[in-house]
């Protein structure tokens, strides 16, 4: 999915050099699926007068379509049997020895209390056990990766040869792209009602979700988002070392990465008052307009603001310190406000009789 979206976005980026790319006969055009179907369209439109380059592309497109259809029909029974076997037998337990050191480190630092450990491992095991949740993550990750590739790569045809370059501004936009789509993908996944079998467990043991429980989910998201952002930053430093001429520039990017992950998590999970994978929507309808608002307005604003502020952050040591202190202050303010809101939510009596009806809705039958 990520590869297809990346190719589609790159197709739009190199639209101005499309004819030169097709007629250059370098062979690169034969590896771009959008051009295959462009060849099919040209062949249908022009018939026998179609250019030989488009005829070749159309031939590859027809062969690829037939091959994909054949493979789908061939492997569908195998995938169906694997799916049924997984439902009947469950997921085999993995070897714990390889994770022992990681768990010891997590338990000593990030998740010290028993409820926090339970929720932390519950999130990881649920993501591994429910295919629909993984599909949501792949969908958001694919969109983010496609936007990242299209922002960083620049493709042009110079002197009848394909030229690939990396955009400096695109590399600066990489961190907000990765952080935004990672955090938003986790929010969508955590709030999805795909599997409600474990909803009653935490409710019976601990009652309503407390601030400590919800903070564990936020830490889980921050750790993964920060890890992915730092990985992208490391790759960017290897691919374009000139983009970070000194240590202050690199440290500035690290501060931006952690700041984006923390503040975006605070923003996306601000109104969440349930443990991940236990949310039950009160309405059967979905307002898609409200879901599109963060992506049509909030996402571009975050990217442009980050790209504009990064040079200022990296210019002086004092700017690094001020930025880190501002991020910390905003995070602590949101943390304090959210803690008070959750305490009020727990103390407030439910007007819909949810507490009285809950034992009858455990779903154990």
- Model pLDDT, residue 284: 45
How many Å apart are CA 161 and CA 177, to the nearest integer?
30
- Model pLDDT, residue 9: 63
How many Å apart are CA 55 and CA 349, to the nearest integer?
70
Which two three-digit tokens encode residue 228?
């992915």
Is the per-residue pLDDT at 303 higher than 60?
Answer: yes
Can you name the residues that pair with 164 across neighbouring β-strands? 155
How far, rounded to the nearest angstrom, does the alpha carbon of residue 29 sit from its chain's CA centroid? 29
Whether residue 272 contacts residue 190, with contact meaning beta carbons closer than 8 Å, is answered with yes
Q: Per-residue pLDDT tens for 146-175?
A: 888 888 877 666 665 666 778 888 888 999
**Rounded average pLDDT over 123-129:** 84
Q: Where are the domains of the chain?
A: 167-365
How many Å apart are CA 50 and CA 42, to the nearest integer?
7
**Rounded average pLDDT over 117-127:** 86
Is the per-residue pLDDT at 16 higher than 60?
Answer: no
**Length of the chain, please?**
365
DSSP assignment of 5-31: HHHHHHHHHTGGGHHHHHHT--SGGGG
Best-predicted range by mean pLDDT (38-52, 54-68, 253-267, 270-284) = 253-267
How confident is residue 289, by pLDDT bands cut at 50, 70 and 90?
A: low
Which two three-digit tokens encode residue 25?
């006969």
Instruction: Kindly tell me the burial class for residue 332, based on how many C-beta atoms sit within 10 Å of its own C-beta (0-12, 13-18, 19 or more).
Output: exposed
Instruction: Name residues whose C-beta falls within 8 Å of residue 51's C-beta, 6 or more positions apart in sequence.
Output: 42
Whether residue 142 contacts residue 8, with contact meaning beta carbons closer than 8 Å, is answered with no
How many Å apart are CA 203 and CA 360, to the nearest integer?
13
Q: Per-residue pLDDT tens for 205-247?
A: 666 778 888 889 999 999 999 999 999 999 888 888 888 878 8
Is the per-residue pLDDT at 97 higher than 60?
Answer: no
- DSSP, collapsed to helix, strand or coil, labels residue 208 as coil
């Amino acid at each position: 999915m990520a590869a297809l979206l990346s190719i589609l976005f790159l197709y739009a980026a190199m639209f101005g050099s499309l004819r030169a790319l097709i007629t250059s006969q370098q062979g690169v055009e034969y590896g771009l699926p959008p051009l295959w179907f462009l060849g099919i369209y040209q062949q249908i439109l022009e018939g026998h007068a179609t250019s030989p380059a488009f005829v070749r592309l159309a031939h590859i497109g027809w062969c690829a379509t037939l091959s994909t259809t054949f493979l789908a029909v061939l492997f569908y029974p195998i995938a169906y049997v694997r799916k049924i076997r997984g439902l009947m037998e469950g997921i085999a337990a993995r070897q714990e020895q390889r994770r022992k050191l990681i768990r010891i480190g997590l338990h000593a630092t990030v998740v010290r209390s028993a409820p926090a450990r339970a929720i932390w491992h519950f999130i990881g095991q649920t993501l591994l056990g429910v295919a629909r949740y993984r599909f949501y993550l792949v969908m958001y990750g694919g969109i983010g990766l496609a936007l990242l590739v299209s922002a960083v790569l620049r493709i042009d045809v110079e002197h009848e040869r394909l030229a690939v370059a990396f955009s400096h501004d695109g590399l600066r936009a990489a961190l907000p792209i990765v952080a935004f789509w990672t955090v938003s993908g986790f929010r969508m996944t955590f709030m999805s009602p795909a599997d409600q079998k474990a909803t009653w467990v935490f409710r019976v043991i601990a009652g309503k979700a407390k601030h400590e429980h919800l903070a564990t989910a936020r830490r889980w998201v921050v750790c993964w988002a920060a890890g992915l952002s730092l990985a992208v930053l490391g790759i960017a430093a290897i691919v374009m070392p000139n983009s970070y001429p000194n240590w202050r520039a690199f440290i500035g990017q690290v501060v931006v990465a952690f700041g984006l992950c923390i503040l975006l998590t605070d923003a996306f999970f601000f109104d969440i008052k349930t443990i991940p994978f236990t949310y039950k929507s009160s309405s059967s309808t979905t307002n898609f307009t409200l879901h599109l608002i963060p992506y049509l307005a909030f996402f571009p604003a975050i990217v442009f603001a980050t790209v504009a502020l990064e040079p200022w952050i990296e210019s002086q040591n004092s700017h690094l310190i001020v930025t880190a202190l501002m991020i910390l202050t905003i995070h602590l303010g949101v943390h304090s406000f959210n803690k008070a809101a959750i305490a009020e939510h727990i103390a407030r009596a439910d007007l819909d009789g949810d507490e009285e009806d809950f034992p009858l809705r455990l779903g154990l039958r």
